[in-house]
Structure 1
Amino acid sequence: MVATDEEAVARPESRAERKEQTRRAILDAALRLCEGSSLVALSLRQVAKEVGIVPTGFYRHFESIEDLGLALVDESFVSLREMLLDVRVHDPAYDDLIDSSIDVLVEHVHAQQAHFAFIAREREAGPPAVREAIARSIELFERELASDLQRLPGTDAWTTEDLRILSNLFVTALVATAVAVLHASDDPEEEKRLVESARTQLRMVLVGALSWRSDR
């Protein structure tokens, strides 16, 4: 028998559901508490107090503050990677790839401002394990993009290293754009200028890329 809406509402939450809600509350609390500083200044006691659990309750979800930070890194990058991968699958042309990638990036920054602010801070000032995780996530972007660029017209004869260099230029520009859009979130005109500048920058890179030959 299929449960009615009323029965679903009345059904008590399972232990797994309550555990997931607490885990989510811990992640959200960490994002709030380190807004003005860094994860290195955050203690699990602060997080536990913010959530309303005892400090030992923290360990039912994360091994340490660094472990919590690694989970936030994963959250910040996974959905963006999936969205950008979808762009690359459906937009094989260079101009479409640039425009769609920037549009997706800006949309994601607006939807996940706290996560992007976290990445921007922790990339430079976070615990070593978190900084390394962010660097690995960005490197993964580059490897995936390099693989996809090989399918585009004009790059089929490029060396792996040249594809990596072009991918690095793309990802570096996108990361810089994300940070700039984050800082300009209260100024729509400045954000528009930044986005258009990023589009132009990447198109200029591609003008040179389209005439590049790896045997030079």
Structure 2
Amino acid sequence: MSEAIRSVTRQEQKERTREAILASALELSQELGFAQVSIRQVTRHAGIVPAAFYRHFESMEQLGLTLVEQSFATLRRMIRDAQRDPHVLDNIIDESARVLVEAVRQNKAHFGFVSRERIGGSPVVREAIRHELDLFVSELAVVLARLPNIENWHSDDVRMASRLFVRNMVDHAEELAELPVSSDGLEHRIRERARREMRLIVIGFRDWHS
């Protein structure tokens, strides 16, 4: 086996170990809460020795920050992809509700993690989640600023509107993350409720004077 092939194999194994650690921490946090999960529990669950943990993460806090980053990555990517589609601006309410449901469906464990840790997690993880939500507010504000009735608003008011959207989405994402498997009817109802509430927010744009 050539050195190049051995290097690729080692890198693949390293990445598999890292993913096993993350997956184990995510699964254990569902049962115990992330703040109660120890390095020893994670490594036992992942089937590795404790020393292997430190080749990937300095501490459980760093592991928690990585889980937060992973949890928001898909949603942020889907929002950015949606921004490139001119159809989205014409149907922002329906598209926002659709993106929300699809993102939670693809990453239910991660959204469950955010839901649990956003309020009851460790201070470091809570702060990381708040930071990610603030970034989400800022990115969504860029999209909202292009809408009719809002394009001439002060930036503070655009962020206020964006924050209302994000709070609505977070609330319904937490509901969706708690649904059991095969709950299409309930999922549809939550999506419809999110759509109606966002529509109510948008209707208020016409009468708001920045």
TM-score by length of 1: 0.89
CA contact (8 A) 2:82 2:88 kept: no
Q: In the TM superposition, what is the alpha-carbon distance from 1:89 to its structure 2 partner?
A: 2.9
Greater C-alpha Rg = 1
Unaligned runs of 5+ in 2: none
Q: Distance in 2 between matches of 1:49 and 1:180?
A: 31
Task: Please name the residue that 1:79 is paired with.
Answer: 74
Per-residue displacement from partner, 1:83-125 (whole Å, max 9, x unpaired)? 1122133146656111112111111111111111111111111
Structure 1 stretches of 5 or more lacking a match?
A: 1-10
1:150–1:14 CA distance, 2 compared to 1 (3 A): same
| 2:31 equivalent in structure 1 | 36
Alignment of 1:3-42 (within 5 A): 14-42=9-37
Which protein has the bigger helix share?
A: 2
Count of aligned residue pairs for this structure pair: 205
Counterpart of 1:3 in structure 2 is: none
TM-score w.r.t. the length of structure 2 is 0.91
User: Which amino acid in structure 1 is aligned with residue 197 of structure 2?
Assistant: Q
Alignment of 1:38-187 (within 5 A): 38-91=33-86, 96-186=91-181, 187=183
Mapped contact 1:38–1:126 kept (Cα < 8 A): yes
2:191 to 191, 195, 208: 195
Identity %: 44
Superposed CA offset, 1:169-203 (max 9, x none) = 00000111111112234432222111111101100
Q: Return 119-128 or 146-155, whichever deviates more.
A: 146-155
Match of 1:14, SS state, is helix
RMSD: 1.8
Partner of residue 203 from structure 2, selected from 202, 207, 211 = 207
